Amino acid sequence: MIKVYLMKLGLKWMARHKLRYVLSWLSFAFVSIVLICIYSISTGISDGVLNQMETNPLSYQVHMKNQRLAEGEIKSDLTEELCNIISGELGAKEFRILYDSFLTLEKIDGNKVESVSAISAYHTGHSFLLGNEIVSESVLYKGNLQGGRNENAAVVTTEFLSAYGFDMDSILGKELLLKDENGAEYSFTVVAVLYNINPQCWLANAEIYVAYNPASGNNLLSEKIIPSIVTFDFSSDRDMSEIKERVTSFGYPYSTAEINAEKVQLLANKYSSIGSFLGIAMAIISAMSLMNSVIITINENAAFMNMFRLMGLTAANHRFLICFITAVQGAIGGMAGFLFSCFAQRQLGNLIESFNLVVYEEFALNFKVDIKVSLFVMLMCIMVSVAAGAVSFVISSKESTVIAADNELV
């Protein structure tokens, strides 16, 4: 009963000094916003990574389980047969190879085209990539095309269009005929146009490409090629040190993918660490600000509180009153931070997108305030506030003794 009464009294005091306390809970709201956003983004990225792993096991944008092992440089003896053996030994789900072989573009839609000898080709187990030979700068750049050998579908670049006199609409559906060094023919149908593939060697090192289909206006392909010759994909957790050792035993150097889920999560953890540090620093500052307000309130009401003590209020109840006041400040701040964060979540998503963190864009767009994180942050704000209240109580108790020495208080 007394505690309920003290809570009412605390609320009355807060109402009486509301302007003083607005700053306190606002500072806690600010702490909450920062922490909620940082942790929600980190959680969002981590969830996104996990989601990728579950729904798209072959994704090499972000996937820890599909670790890639790559040869450092092209080796002529790295045949498909050998890769099959290595893949079997390693227990990889599948592998892809970039061969150093040559094709020439012979015809487009049945019509003979020029400059075909300038095109060198690399193909993989499942896809096909054509581009200019940029090693020799004297060769006229004609753009690139990429195709799937199995699907017989090709994607071409905008440069390719202009080099062969096509526009976006007219190239779609066109038949491309290519020949390899042995005279074997490969036929492809152009299904999409790619931007930002220029030049081809840059393409080989690039991370993400955006395919554009002028007919539908949708992105068709989000593709990345890493500078690897053979890529092994694993669909389950593996002891990577053992695999690396095994690859080394085959006489090939290895490297891991430049961007994978592990690195994304590492980055998310760094965000969390920075956010935690900032949050803790801000929480301490907020706590000090709150302590300042509370100590003023305690001192302003010291005479009455001493009277209350004389009437039988225990020190524990007195401390409860002070801690209740500060806890309410923390709770209001935490709740306000949560509401502000919810209100601003779309804007925050856009803001993150504007950071141009391409790989994380899809997660940023999905950013939303995490309820569990918000509850945790609110709890943290309340705990920090209560601690501030307890410290304020101790400081004020010491001060009141000194004041008593001057006979100003009972």
| Interacting residues toward another protein by CB under 8 A | 1-2, 5, 9, 12-13, 16, 303-304, 306-316, 401-402, 404-405, 407, 410
Does residue 316 sit in helix, strand or coil?
helix
In the complex, least distance from residue 297 CB atom to another protein, rounded to whole angstroms: 13
Under 8 Å between Cβ of 190 and 130: no
Q: Which is nearer to another protein, 353 or 399 (CB)?
A: 399
Minimum distance between the CB of residue 316 and another protein, rounded to whole angstroms?
7
Name all contacts of 399-408 with Cβ < 8 Å and 24+ positions apart: 399/299, 400/302, 400/306, 403/302
* In the complex, minimum distance from the CB of residue 336 to another protein, in angstroms, rounded to a whole number: 25
In the bound state with another protein, the residue whose beta carbon lies nearer, of 331 and 409, is 409
Q: Which is nearer to another protein, 285 or 315 (CB)?
A: 315
Q: State the Cα–Cα distance between residues 294 and 286, nearest whole angstrom.
A: 12
CA–CA separation, 113 vs 107, rounded Å? Answer: 5
Identify the helix (H) or strand (E) that includes residue 367: none
> What is the Cα–Cα distance from 310 to 230, expressed in whole angstroms?
83
Beta carbon of residue 319, minimum distance to another protein (angstroms, whole number)? 11
Comparison of 124 and 297: residue with beta carbon closer to another protein: 297
Phi and psi angles of residue 357, each rounded to the nearest 5 degrees, phi first: -85, 80
- Catalogue the long-range contacts made by 165-169 (C-beta closer than 8 Å, 24 or more residues apart): 168/193, 168/212, 168/214, 169/214, 169/215
**300: helix, coil or strand?**
helix
Rounded least distance, CB 334 to another protein, Å = 26
> Which residue's CB is nearer to another protein, number 47 or number 399?
399
Q: How far is the CB of 409 from another protein (least distance, A)?
A: 8
Residue nearer to another protein on the CB measure, 5 or 355: 5
